[in-house]
Amino acid sequence: MPMSVTIWHNPRCSKSRQTLKLLTDHGIEPTIVEYMKTPPSPDELRDALDKLGMAPRDLMRHKEPPYKAEGLDDASLADSVLIQAMHDHPVLVERPVVLADDKAALGRPPERVLEIL
């Protein structure tokens, strides 16, 4: 059975574009989710974090305005609060995330996604 590959993609991000090109250059036509338009649900974020082996804060872009505005630098915040913030403000999600069956990788650098294919 062929592998199911999805990329959480932001076409305005060079790393995201490079990662998508890398996938297609390897003959993989992933499902493209423009997560800024269609944010992943809290459950999808939780699942991706589990596959990535990351804590929510590790997948967050700390320099984006909502990070400070929402007080997300507070170390006492529960993971569920951080995950909800990423859903509510998808700009906070580090990109691109590539999901392949039961694995996931952050495309920073883009070549990292090849490890899960």
Is 116 one of the catalytic residues? no
Report the alpha-carbon distance of residue 33 to residue 48 in Å, rounded.
Answer: 14
From the list 3, 5, 8, 13, the catalytic residue is 13
Q: Which residues are catalytic?
A: 13
